[in-house]
Amino acid sequence: MIYLALKHLHVSCVVLSGAGFLLRGFWMFGDSPQLQQRWVRVFPHVVDTLLLGSAITMAILSAQYPFVTGWLTAKLIGLLAYIVCGTVALKRGRTKQQRSVFFVIALFVYLYIVTVAVTRNPGGLLVWL
């Protein structure tokens, strides 16, 4: 029962995190003042903390760990790539063109991570191609 609740929390946070990234990306490209609001800067950290916490707890409860279970290893590596690309896309990119390239890459990495989770296959979306 606890595992199922954690899984629902995790999936909800995945959706909120992805939607929030997409929204912040659109605001960034449109030079929106919304990006300066306090909740826009704080909310992603809250969601991502819950996301990571639920993932770690589910891994412990299910005794499935990265570097032991292939699909979890793929998700972890994908997560690191997503964080790097997302940071360049929203903050560290020097030009809008560079930010837009990393934004699109981050969205594809996000899609890859989700499809790895759904299929429990390290190939993720590549399995469907």
Q: Domains of the chain: which residue ranges?
A: 1-63, 67-129
Q: Which letter does DSSP use for residue 126 in this model? A: G
- From the first residue on, what is the mean pLDDT of each consecutive set of 10 residues in the chain (129 residues)? 95 97 96 94 96 96 94 96 97 95 98 95 83
Burial class (CB in 10 A: 0-12, 13-18, 19+), 102: buried
Q: What is the pTM of this model?
A: 0.92
